[in-house]
Structure 1
Amino acid sequence: MSVVAAVLIQAISRFLQIYSVLLIIRILLTWFPTVDWSNPIFSTLAQLTDPYLNLFRSIIPPIGGLDLSAILAILALNLLSGLVDAATSQITALAYASYGAF
């Protein structure tokens, strides 16, 4: 059970890392007004990241054109990623203690 849990949590950790990169790319692209958001690549990026960003935009609306909610969104994602990494470490330590090795 511990090995399955460790693999699952590592997969979640990888997903969060990839999503963090997509989120940062999305935020950086908003600084360039010439980005064509109807382009399929940019449109897909927006569809993947906007629902998460909108959660935080409802808490902190843009102030003078500056979207501070993105900072809160990244902090929350990093916190979740840290918790997942800590869980991975704990499960791995338990697996080694129980089975000696994978």
Structure 2
Amino acid sequence: MRWYKVKRAMRFSKKLKNRFNEITDISEELTMGLAKIIILGNQECMIENYKGIIQYENQKIILKTINGIVSVEGNDLCINEIGEGEMLIRGKITSLTLDE
């Protein structure tokens, strides 16, 4: 298959997913696999749709997502809950960065 046909098929697939989201009112992060990050004050951070743990220390937790790398920094950080594709980090969070 030629490259331009693959590229065109990928664009069509993305348009189809976006249209599906509009019609069904399902959030984009669920169908596109995008990371969803919820911060509660400076004590908790819920991250959904992560792909893996790169680094885990009590002052820094780094995760891989489809969007890029999520880095949570702070003091006394711990992974309080972990499930399939979701994680709850607790501690005193001082910064959160997303790098592509």
The answer to whether the superposition gives a TM-score over 0.5 is no
Q: Which structure has more strand as a fraction of its residues?
A: 2
Larger radius of gyration: 1
After TM superposition, the score normalised by the length of structure 1 is 0.28
Q: Which has the higher contact order (CA 8 A, sep 6+)?
A: 1
After TM superposition, the score normalised by the length of structure 2 is 0.29
